[in-house]
Amino acid sequence: MFEEHLARLRKVNLERKIRDRESPQGPRIVIHGKEYVQFASNDYLGLAADPSLVNKAAEAMTRFGFGAGASRLLCGGSSLHGELEKKMASFKGTESALVFNSGYSANVGAIQALGTADTVLFSDELNHASIIDGCRLSRSATIVYRHKDTADLEACLKKKPSSRKIVITDAVFSMDGDIAPIPDIVRLCRAYGAYLYVDEAHATGVIGKGRGVFPHFSLGPEPWIIQMGTFSKALGSFGGFVAGTAETIEWAVNTARSLIFSTALPACVIAASLAALELVESDSQRIDRLWRNREKLARGLTAAGFDISGSETPIIPLRTGSIENTLRVAGYLREQGIFAPAIRPPAVRESRIRITVTAAHTDEDIERLLEAVKKI
Ligand SMILES: *Cc1c(COP(=O)(O)O)cnc(C)c1O
C-alpha cells in the first residue's frame, strides 16, 4: 500500500531505520553486538540507568504492582503521582503542576487545552513537533514567528490587539542547542498582555543549575507563565509535566484530552522521576560535570575547525552539508565505534550530525570523538 511512498523516501536518502540497544542507556551502548561510545541520547545527567532510580522504581513496583489500569481521572493514579506534582511545583516555583504520560503528550494536551477559540497562539518556527501538533489540535489561530526574532514576534503581537494571546517557545531548541531570548520575550508578553508557554524539555536538569531557563536568566515564575517539561531527558525517567497556577492546572485536568483519554503512568515510573528530581535538587555535581564535558567538547570541535557558535548547550550540531554527506559521516563515525545520529529533513531543514554530550562521558570518550571528527 505504501510501496511507492517508501521508494520515494529511499531514493532521496530519507528512509529511517530503528536501531535498538542490547544494553542499558549510557555513554557506551551495544547495538547488534557492537559496542559504541554514543553521543546521541538526551540522558544529559547519566541518570537513565542510575541505581537510585532503578531501586526506587523496583520498590514502587513491589508496593503498587505494574500497570496503572485506568486514566488519572478514573483510578489510575497512585499517591506517588500527587507527590511528584507537589515536588515539581515547588521545584518550578509555581502553585501547581500536572504529570502527563510523556513530554509529547504534555504539549499536545496542554496546548490543545489552553488554545481555546478566542485565543491566538504565537509559535517560534523551530519549536518542537509536539508543540506544532498541540497548536494543530487547538481551536486557536496560530501565527508562526521567525526563529528567536523578537522584532518579528512584536510585529505579530501588534496585529492581534484584542484577543487572548499565548507565546509558545522552546527554552532550548532541540536540534540547534540554542537558548530562546526569554528576557526579551517576557518583556513583550508583559507589554502586549500575552501568556507565555515555555517548553523546558532540554532545559530541565541542564541550565539554570537544573531548574531551567527562568533561573538561567535570573527571572522568577509569573502567574501568566506556563512551564512545560519532561522527565524523559536529563531526569533519566519517563513522562512529562506542565507547571503553572492552580487555575491553569485545573483547566488542563478538565480539558486536556491526552490526559483524560489515556491510562496513567505506572507508579514505578513516577517513583523513578521522584528519585531523579531529588538528585537534581540536592546534588549539583552531575550538572557541573555535564558543563565541564560540554566545554571540553566545544573547545575541541572549535579547534578541529567546526563552527559551533550557534550552540549554547550540550546539544552541538555539526553541519555536514547534503543528506548524502551527512549519512556518510554518520556511517564513518559508526565504523570508528562512535554513535552520533544523522538528522535529516523533515526533522530539520539542514542535515547535520547532532552531538549530545552528557555528565557520564569520560575524557577518553570525548577525545575519541574528537580524534574521529578530525578525520572527516
Ligand atoms: C523530546 C521533546 C519533547 C517530548 O518529550 P518526551 O518526554 O520525549 O515525549 C517535547 N519538547 C521538546 C522540545 C523535546 O525535545
SS (H, E, C) 199-266: ECCCCECCCCCCECHHHHCCCCCCCCEEEEEECCCCCCCCCEEEEECHHHHHHHHHHCHHHHCCECCC
Q: How far is the CA of 104 from the centre of ligand 1 (A)?
A: 5
List the CATH number of the domain containing 209: 3.40.640.10
| Cβ-based neighbour number of residue 191 at 10 Å | 10
The verdict on residue 3 lying in a domain is no
pTM, to two decimals: 0.97
C-alpha cell at 137: 489540535
Whether pLDDT at 160 is above 90 = no
Residue 223 pLDDT:
97
User: CB within 8 A of 79, min separation 6: which ones?
Assistant: none
Strand order in the sheet with 225-230: 96-100, 240-244, 225-230, 195-199, 164-170, 119-124, 141-145
Whether 183 and 234 share a structural domain: yes
Given 202, 232, 262, 273, the catalytic residue: 202
Q: pLDDT tens for residues 18-47?
A: 999 999 999 999 999 999 999 999 999 999
The verdict on residue 120 lying in a domain is yes
Among 282, 298, 327, residue at a domain's last position: 282
Q: Is 370 exposed, middle or buried (0-12, 13-18, 19+ CB in 10 A)?
A: middle
**Average of per-residue pLDDT values in the chain:** 97
The verdict on residue 183 lying in a domain is yes
Among 232, 247, 282, residue at a domain's last position: 282
Q: How many CA atoms lie within 13 A of 132 on its CB side?
A: 9
Whether 249 and 302 share a structural domain: no
Whether 205 and 325 share a structural domain: no
Whether 313 is in the pocket of ligand 1, judged by its Cβ within 6 Å, is: no
Whether 90 and 184 share a structural domain: yes
Contact (Cβ atoms closer than 8 angstroms) between residue 333 and residue 340? yes
The verdict on residue 370 lying in a domain is yes
Nearest CA to ligand 1 atom 3: 103
| Cβ-based neighbour number of residue 154 at 10 Å | 16
- Give the Cα separation of 75 and 55 in Å (integer): 25
Whether 180 and 306 share a structural domain: no
Q: pLDDT tens for residues 337-351?
A: 999 999 999 889 999
Which residues, listed in sequence order, are joined to residue 355 by a DSSP beta bridge? 316
The verdict on residue 82 lying in a domain is yes
Q: How far is the CA of 42 from the centre of ligand 1 (A)?
A: 10
Contact (Cβ atoms closer than 8 angstroms) between residue 106 and residue 252? no
User: Tell me, what DSSP letter sits at residue 179?
Assistant: B
Q: pLDDT tens for residues 292-322?
A: 999 999 999 999 999 999 999 999 999 999 9
Q: How far is the CA of 129 from the centre of ligand 1 (A)?
A: 9
Let me know if 202 is a catalytic residue: yes
Q: How far is the CA of 201 from the centre of ligand 1 (A)?
A: 5
| Domain extent for 122 | 51-282
In terms of Cα–Cα distance, which of 209, 200, 245, 251 is closest to 224? 245
List the CATH number of the domain containing 25: 3.90.1150.10
Among 282, 298, 314, residue at a domain's last position: 282
Whether pLDDT at 125 is above 90 = yes
The verdict on residue 126 lying in a domain is yes
Whether 273 is in the pocket of ligand 1, judged by its Cβ within 6 Å, is: no
Whether 79 and 17 share a structural domain: no
Whether 258 and 271 share a structural domain: yes
Residue 283 pLDDT:
85
Whether 226 and 347 share a structural domain: no
Whether 260 and 335 share a structural domain: no
The verdict on residue 8 lying in a domain is no
| Cβ-based neighbour number of residue 162 at 10 Å | 7
Residue 339 pLDDT:
97
Whether 201 and 135 share a structural domain: yes
User: Tell me, what DSSP letter sits at residue 33?
Assistant: T
Whether pLDDT at 73 is above 90 = yes
Q: pLDDT tens for residues 79-122?
A: 999 999 999 999 999 999 999 999 999 999 999 999 999 999 99
Distance between first and last Cα of the chain: 40
The verdict on residue 6 lying in a domain is no
Whether 123 is in the pocket of ligand 1, judged by its Cβ within 6 Å, is: no
Total domains, the chain: 2
What's the per-residue H, E or C state across 347-370?
CCCCCEEEEECCCCCCHHHHHHHH
Whether 38 and 133 share a structural domain: no
Residue type for position 144: V
Query: 170: helix, coil or strand?
Result: strand
User: CB within 8 A of 232, min separation 6: which ones?
Assistant: 42, 102, 103, 238, 239, 240
Nearest CA to ligand 1 atom 2: 201
Let me know if 237 is a catalytic residue: no
Q: pLDDT tens for residues 257-278?
A: 999 999 999 999 999 999 999 9
Whether 220 and 148 share a structural domain: yes
Backbone phi and psi for residue 76, each to the nearest 5 degrees, phi listed first: -80, -20
Q: Residue 156 — pLDDT band, cuts 50, 70, 90?
A: very high
User: CB within 8 A of 343, min separation 6: which ones?
Assistant: 175, 317, 326, 351, 352, 353, 354
Q: Residue 214 — pLDDT band, cuts 50, 70, 90?
A: very high
Residue 376 pLDDT:
85
Nearest CA to ligand 1 atom 8: 103
Q: pLDDT tens for residues 48-62?
A: 999 999 999 999 999
